[in-house]
Amino acid sequence: MDTPLGQLKKHTAPVPYLGGLAIYFSFLLGVLGALILTPPPDAPRVLAILAGGTVVAILGLADDLFTLSPAVKFLFQILAAVLLIFFGVKLEFLPSHLVLGWVLTVFWVVAITNAINLIDIMDGLAGGVAVIACLGFVGVPFLGAQSYVPLTAAALGGSVLGFLPYNYQPARIYMGDSGALFLGFVLAGIAMGHGYTQVNVMALCAPLFILGVPLYDTALVMALRFLQGRSMFRGSNDHLALRLRALGLTVKQTVHSLWALAALLSVCAGILVRLSEKRAAIFTALFFFLVLLFTVMVASIPMVDGKKKTRENPFRIFLGDGTRRRKPGRR
C-alpha cells in the first residue's frame, strides 16, 4: 500500500500500488500470443524487449516492496539495456562508432526508463502519456520501421489502456515502480526500432518529440535541482505537472493538458520525418526555441515547499529576481 507521507504523497488514504504487475502480465500474454499466431521476422528482438522488461519489472517490484538504492536500480537497468544490445535492439545512427553507439543506447534506455517513473506523480498521468506514445509509434507510419515496433507498441498500449480506468482520478490502484519502470524500458526499446532519417537527418529528434513530456519533465527537474544545489535523486515539487497545479489547474485539468501536449508532440514527430532537409532544420529550430520560452515561463511559477512560501527562481540570472517590492503602508 502507498501510504500518504510528507509533501510528496498527498493522497488522503492508502492506495494499492502493485498495478504494474497487471500491466506486465497483460503485455506478456499479448506478446506471446502474437508470437505464436503470427511471429514477425525479428521475433528475437521482441523476446529481448520482453526479457529486459521482465528484469526491470522485477526490479521495480523489489523497489516497491523493499526500497532499493539508486545505484542498485541503475545497475539492473544497465544490464537490461545490455540485453537489448545483445539482440540487436540499439541506436543505429552511428554505425562507424560501435562502442559509442552502445554507450548512447544504454544512456537512452536508462533515461527513458526513469523519465516515465518520474512523471508517475498524478492519477492517470504516466499511463495516459504512455498510451499516447504507443499510439504515436503505431499510428504514425514511420519510414523503415522494423516489424517488432507496431507489435510491441500495440501490446503495451492495450495493456496500459486496460489499467488506466482504475488509475484515473480518483485512483483505486497505482502502477508503482514495477509498472512505471517497465513502461519506460519498453518504450525505450520501441523508439529504437524506427528508421527516422529516410528523408532528413533532423528526424532523429522524432522519438524525442513522441516521448517529449516525460523527457522534458526529467530535464526540467534535474536542471532545477542542480541549479538549487539539491540532490537529483531526492523527490521534490519541481515537476511540470505540479507547476501547472500551482497555476490553479485541477488534477484532471493538469493531466488532460499534458495528455494533449503529448498528442501534439506525436503529431509534430510525424510531420518532422516527412519534411525536406531545410524545412526540417527550420521546424526543429523553431520547436526548440518555443521549448526555451516555455521553460522560462514554467521556471518563473512560484512554488510552495513545506513552510517556505515561495521558492527562489533558479533562472533569476535571466529573469531578474521576479519579486514585486511593496510600497510602504500597503498590506
pLDDT per position as a tens digit, 281-300: 999 999 999 999 999 999 88
Band of pLDDT at residue 328, cut at 50, 70 and 90:
very low
Band of pLDDT at residue 9, cut at 50, 70 and 90:
low
Q: Among positive and negative, which fits the CA dihedral 53, 54, 56, 60?
A: positive
What is the structure's pLDDT at 215?
A: 97
Query: In this model, does residue 306 exceed pLDDT 60?
Result: no
Report in angstroms the alpha-carbon separations of 207 from 131, 210, 268.
Answer: 15, 5, 10
Q: What are phi and psi of 305, to 5 degrees?
A: -130, 100
State the Cα–Cα distance between residues 224 and 66, nearest whole angstrom: 29
Residue bearing the bigger pLDDT, 116 or 199: 116
Mean pLDDT of the residues in the chain:
88
Query: In this model, does residue 8 exceed pLDDT 70?
Result: no
Q: Quick one: average pLDDT of 155-165?
A: 97
The C-alpha cell at 21 is 504487475
Query: In this model, does residue 65 exceed pLDDT 50?
Result: yes
- AA letter at 179: G
What is the structure's pLDDT at 83?
A: 96
State the Cα–Cα distance between residues 320 and 300, nearest whole angstrom: 10
Q: Which residues pair with 308 in a beta bridge?
A: 305
- AA letter at 130: A
Of the candidates 74, 196, 176, the one whose C-alpha atom is nearest the C-alpha of residue 127 is 176
State the Cα–Cα distance between residues 10 and 148, nearest whole angstrom: 40
What is the structure's pLDDT at 324?
A: 40
What is the structure's pLDDT at 290?
A: 96
Residue bearing the bigger pLDDT, 78 or 311: 78
C-beta separation of 156 from 130 below 8 A? yes
What is the structure's pLDDT at 320?
A: 46
Q: Quick one: average pLDDT of 33-59?
A: 94
Rg for the chain (alpha carbons), in Å? 20
Percentage of the chain surpassing pLDDT 70? Answer: 88
